[in-house]
Amino acid sequence: MNRLAILGAVVVVALFLAASSFFTVHQTQQVLITQFGQPIRVIQDPGLNMKVPLIQNVIAFDRRLLDFDTAGEEVILGDQRRLIVDSFTRYRITDPLLFFQTVGATEQGIRGRLNSIVTSALRRVLASETLIAVLSAERGRIMGEINRQVNEEARRFGIEVEDVRIRRADLPEENTQAILSRMQSERERVAREARAEGAEVAARIRAQAERDRTVLLAQAEADAAILRGTGEQEAIGIFAAAFQRDPEFFQFWRTMQAYREVFSTGESRMVLTPESDFFRYFRDMPAREAAPAAPAAPAPSPAPAQ
């Protein structure tokens, strides 16, 4: 019995040691082997591997892209404006040995260092930029410079920074109202200039229209005067031709027109002698012969008395 117990214990220990000797490296991991706390080797290829049981330890690091978010930091821009910047960082562990030697066996150790590196780079780069540049298409160039500086400092920890981005850039509350007031004043100034330019253009258009109107009216009046003169000239020619063909009838017709204009209302008064030439056609009219009076009807005879 004692031999069987000893043999079973040896088998159990052997199985335990064999199980402790093998480990698997996942495709999303990279492994650092340490012996008594000292790094021995790095395994970055996935698969089944061996180690010395009870002596060597396996420390796994994620080889995927990792995230790190920084809290909002207040920075001073190049135009002396204050801005609260909230950023995030994407990085990966490229050298597990250097990472273990400088940071430690966990990813928590790198977060504090990344926070100081990213914050310092943000302050250095944004200190030479204006608010308009940060809020415009220039942000890509600014973030590229921040990413370059952060990556240069982060390489000494065995990591590579893939990207640094500003998630949010807000003005401090005490500066927001002042900036909004300045923006409103600027917009009002632009609006006043636009209205003044519009009024100037409108006045110019009205003056041109008034000038064109005056020219058109003058030209129309000139054309009308020419037409009236031509018409009067033709009328005079027609009257003259008619007078030459029958002067007596023409004189009679003109006199009849004068009679119509004078006596049409029935309220005209004229102080003239009967022998005036104006009434010559009244004097020259032949006197009408008086018609014979009709014989008077005989009076009825009185009725006989009853």
Q: Where are the domains of the chain?
A: 16-62, 66-171, 176-221
pLDDT > 70 in the chain, percent: 82
- Asked whether residue 23 carries a pLDDT value surpassing 70, the answer given is yes
User: Model pTM?
Assistant: 0.52
- Asked whether residue 9 carries a pLDDT value surpassing 60, the answer given is yes
Superfamily of domain 66-171: Band 7 domain (3.30.479.30)
Which is higher by pLDDT, 301 or 121?
121
- Residue pLDDT, tens place only, 276-292: 666 666 665 554 444 44
Q: In whole angstroms, what is the distance from residue 258 CA to residue 268 CA?
A: 12
Q: Which residues contact 197 (CB under 8 A, 6 or more apart)?
A: none
- Residue pLDDT, tens place only, 259-270: 777 777 767 676
Q: Which residues contact 79 (CB under 8 A, 6 or more apart)?
A: 130, 131
User: Terminal CA-to-CA distance of the chain, rounded, Å?
Assistant: 201
Q: In whole angstroms, what is the distance from residue 200 CA to residue 184 CA?
A: 24
Closest CA to 73 of 56, 87, 89, 62: 87
